[in-house]
Amino acid sequence: MQSSSHRWGPLLRDLFLTAGAIIASIVVLEISLRLCGVVVTGSLYTTHPTREFAFRPGAQAWYTEEGRSFIRINHDGYRDSEHPTAKAAGTVRIAMIGSSTVAESEVDFADTATQVLERVLSTRLRAAGRTAEVMNFGVPDYSLAHQYLVLRDDVRRYRPDIVVVGLSLRNDLFNATRATKVTHADYPFFVLRDGHPVPDDMTLRKFNLASGWHRPVLADHLKDLMNGWCRLCLIATYAYSLASRALEQDWHKSPDDRLVFSPPANDDMKMDWQVTDATIEMMRKEAESAGAEFWIVTFDGGLQASPDLGERALWQRQMRSDNPFYPDEHFGQIAERHGIPHVILGPLLAAYTQRTGVSIHGFPNSLPNQGHLNEAGLRIAGQLIADGLCSGSRLLAMYCARPAGETAASR
């Protein structure tokens, strides 16, 4: 009779050899991925007590879904450099809040609209002995409800001189209510009571639990390790994320984009516009109570600014829209009704691309003329925002200078 050690010895040896081969294969594959320069979108997010999710403070990872950039998140949880709480003397501090249209993960940080705006304004303020500091408080997939909380909880303590909300025509409108949401977030959402936005029942429950919330430190550390050391892990988690997103889209059908580019055709869209209107007004009051000017900027949407006029006309027919700039104008009317200075970029960007033929949307790994603004688009958008602020801001109008003959349209 064989002893137990004789019976188990060959089996254990085979198991160790198999495990060793698997580990060696993984190491070789990981090294090969690095030598070949393969990068994939990493993990940048963590949970949040009142906003459900947020950028993870200190996270660093590649973003490759549209465009390609290396993202660094500051200690406050935003895609920005570090900023002291107190601003330096002679500085005009501007806080820009928004979703992916402001975070602009698709491009290098230096090419974002906030950085373009900071450089352009600093040049124009130099003669007056001033400089501009533009802070980026954009987080992809954030709704206006999220953005209000960012303003209330994070932006206020930096005491900005000007607060700018960068609006996405489609997402900020659809994400106003649960009925039409395109965000994956379950909260926060506002409902109207006596015309004022208040947290809905689920959001209120989450707010009440916020005091007992603890950051998932271990999970966040694991994500950081994975970003830095395991590209195979990133590939696996990215594939899982894509599959989950596809399943979610099957379960939750997005509303028809045609609803954005025409007057509200149903009760859901009417409510979206009403909640959006009330939330913008609430943000204005919050900013002004902190001593800041409040502005809104609307980015373009769809194929409004395609340089291909035939493609633009076809898209307008597909949207069944008599006026492709309907949402831009509606946001402008909201701003005027509440006395909010604003920059409506859609028509300006469309005129620019029609005149120059420059494609301001699209990247080598995405469809042309679609998606987020590329480097060329962000450059002209930042310049147009600077033009609007310099001409319309009570504060900046005193200091801004423009070189002779220079306009955003001429660049």
Domains of the chain by residue range: 38-77+214-252, 80-213+254-406
Q: In CATH, which of 3.30.390.50, 3.40.50.300, 3.40.50.1580, 3.40.50.1110 is domain 80-213+254-406? A: 3.40.50.1110
Percent of the chain with pLDDT over 70: 85
| Mean pLDDT score of the chain | 89
- 281: DSSP letter: H
In sequence order, the 6+-apart residues with CB closer than 8 A to the CB of 359 are 306, 307, 353, 368, 369, 374, 376
pLDDT digits (tens, 9 = 90+) for 224-263: 877 776 766 666 666 666 666 555 555 456 689 999 999 9
pLDDT in tens, 388-410: 999 999 999 889 976 555 555 44
- Taking the C-alpha atoms of residue 171 and residue 259, their distance in angstroms, rounded to an integer, is 12
| Residue 223, pLDDT above cutoff 60 | yes
Query: pTM for this one?
Result: 0.88
pLDDT of residue 183: 85
Predicted confidence (pLDDT) per residue in 8-43, tens digit: 767 777 677 777 776 666 676 666 656 666 677 888
pLDDT attached to residue 410: 43
| H/E stretch holding 344 | strand 342-344
- pLDDT of residue 126 exceeding 80: yes
Distance CA 397, CA 399 (A): 6
Residues in contact with 179: Cβ distance below 8 Å, sequence separation at least 6, in sequence order: 268, 271, 272
Q: And the tokens for 186?
A: 């379950």
Residue 246 vs residue 293, higher pLDDT: 293
What is the pLDDT, as a whole number, of residue 369? 95
Stretch 163-181: mean pLDDT, rounded? 96
124 pLDDT more than 70: yes
Q: What is the mean pLDDT of residues 148-164?
A: 98
Confidence of residue 211 (pLDDT cuts 50, 70, 90): confident
